[in-house]
Chain A
Amino acid sequence: MKKLLVLFILAALVGVLYPLYESFDGNTELSEVARFYAKSENVQKVNSQNLVTAVVVTYRGLDTLGEVTILFLTAAIIAFFLKKESEKRTLRKNSEIFKTASKLLIPIITMLGIYIFINGHLTPGGGFQGGAVIASAVILMFLAFPNMEFSHKFFESLESVSGLVYVGLAAFGAILGLGFLDNAILPLGKFGQLFSAGAIPVIYSFVGLKVGAELSNILNKFKSVQADN
């Protein structure tokens, strides 16, 4: 009976999705919105080589601000739910190879994350991806050195400062009369160079730091509540 119900629901979903599949035959041209973004004068106005970044940080910047807020809310709820318990953990000793390899890898992974968010306006990548890569370095650190002190205060203040700078830069555009989250508050630079696209690399760097710090905080919360049962 239960299996039949499951099959019925799956079949219903297939029925809902099938018209979407049926009507899809591959686009031959861009939508009108994308055409606007790809217009030569608009590309020059934003001066970002990566159009996706231009859409995420400038055209739909408010959306990204909301996204960062949702991530912050998640971190806050997780901090509320997972309170540290004083139970003891017995940990197996890590092997020497793993420890040495992670000592070598952690700085390199962190550097890759920073590279990804600084070059977000030139190559695929950006603040969220770079932040996630930095958080993966933190995960490796937790696994390799479980007894290391995690400076909760440092990561939390880094996160708050980055968030405030992001909102401050956004509001600065409005104060200058260009518009909230406009990237022209800094010189636009030469197309395709590291210092181009105005405020986009600065904003994305702070987004990257914020996301990295936030995810590290969440991971620390997950780690700190684990105890022997």
Chain B
Amino acid sequence: MEYITITTGFLIILAGLWAIMTRKNIIRIIIGFSLFDTGIHVVMVSMAYVKGGVAPILDKKELLTDTANKIVDPVPQALVLTAIVIGLGVTALMLAYAMRLHQEKKSLDIESFKDLKW
């Protein structure tokens, strides 16, 4: 069961990398980066899974005793929360750059930006 999420995560990472390397439209490249991010988050959360564990929210009485054997690991979940916010910031920044590039050349095709290519 726990293999499903980790496999999905790795597949999303590969799909993101493929999109980054082969797409020509800048927006699609940004979507690729976003996918790469999401895949890593899915892998991190699935690594934190403990067999038979529930979410680390102690809203039932029976969870309060012997907590450590009943919940999944909260630390990678907290790390992923951080990573999602950073990913959002990076995506916003990339979109801002894309808008500036479009203002300069009126095109979003990566092939039309050759100024720094030698």
Which residues on A are within 8 Å of B, measured CB to CB?
3, 6, 9-10, 13-14, 17, 21, 24, 26-31, 33-35, 37-40, 43, 49-52, 54-56, 60, 63-64, 67, 70-71, 73-74, 77-78, 81-82, 122-124, 126, 128, 132, 192, 211, 218, 221-222, 225, 229
Task: Report if A17-B13 is in contact (Cβ < 8 Å); known contacts: A28-B51, A51-B56.
Answer: yes
Q: Are A51 and B57 in contact (CB under 8 A)?
A: yes
Interface of A is mostly: helix
Q: Are B56 and A229 in contact (CB under 8 A)?
A: no
Asked if B110 is an interface residue, CB under 8 A from chain A, the answer is no
| Residues of chain B within 8 A of A29, CB atoms compared | 50, 68-69
| Residues of chain A within 8 A of B116, CB atoms compared | none
Q: What is the distance, in angstroms, from B110's C-beta to the closest C-beta of chain A?
A: 13
Q: Are A31 and B17 in contact (CB under 8 A)?
A: no
A128 and B10 alpha carbons, distance in the complex (Å): 26
Task: Report if A123-B57 is in contact (Cβ < 8 Å); known contacts: A26-B51, A38-B71, A40-B64.
Answer: yes
Q: Which residue of B lies closest to A131 (CB)?
A: B85
| Residues of chain A within 8 A of B89, CB atoms compared | 70-71, 73-74
Annotate B32-49 by CB proximity to A: 1 below 8 A, 0 otherwise.
000000000000000111
A77 and B92 alpha carbons, distance in the complex (Å): 10
A81 and B92 alpha carbons, distance in the complex (Å): 12
Which residues on B are within 8 Å of A, measured CB to CB?
2-3, 6-7, 10, 13-14, 17-18, 21-22, 47-51, 55-59, 64-65, 67-69, 71-75, 77-78, 81-82, 84-86, 88-90, 92-93, 95-97, 99-100, 103, 106
Q: Are A82 and B106 in contact (CB under 8 A)?
A: no
| Residues of chain B within 8 A of A126, CB atoms compared | 81
Q: Are B68 and A52 in contact (CB under 8 A)?
A: no
Q: What is the distance, in angstroms, from A63's C-beta to the closest C-beta of chain B?
A: 6
Q: Are B57 and A39 in contact (CB under 8 A)?
A: no
Say which residue of A40, A73, A77 sits within 8 Å of B96 (CB atoms): A77
Q: Are A55 and B74 in contact (CB under 8 A)?
A: yes
Q: Which residue of B lies closest to A68 (CB)?
A: B85
A55 and B95 alpha carbons, distance in the complex (Å): 31
Q: Are A37 and B69 in contact (CB under 8 A)?
A: no
A222 and B73 alpha carbons, distance in the complex (Å): 38
Task: Report if A10-B14 is in contact (Cβ < 8 Å); known contacts: A34-B68, A43-B67, A122-B59.
Answer: yes
Q: What is the distance, in angstroms, from A127's C-beta to the closest C-beta of chain B?
A: 10
Q: Are B67 and A124 in contact (CB under 8 A)?
A: no
Say which residue of B22, B51, B67, B84 sits within 8 Å of A27 (CB atoms): B51
Identify the 8 closest CB pairs spanning chains A and B, nearest first.
A74-B89, A51-B56, A55-B78, A38-B68, A38-B67, A51-B74, A26-B2, A34-B73
Q: Which residue of B lies closest to A129 (CB)?
A: B81
| Residues of chain B within 8 A of A40, CB atoms compared | 64-65, 67
Say which residue of B59, B65, B81, B106 sits within 8 Å of A56 (CB atoms): B81
A78 and B78 alpha carbons, distance in the complex (Å): 27
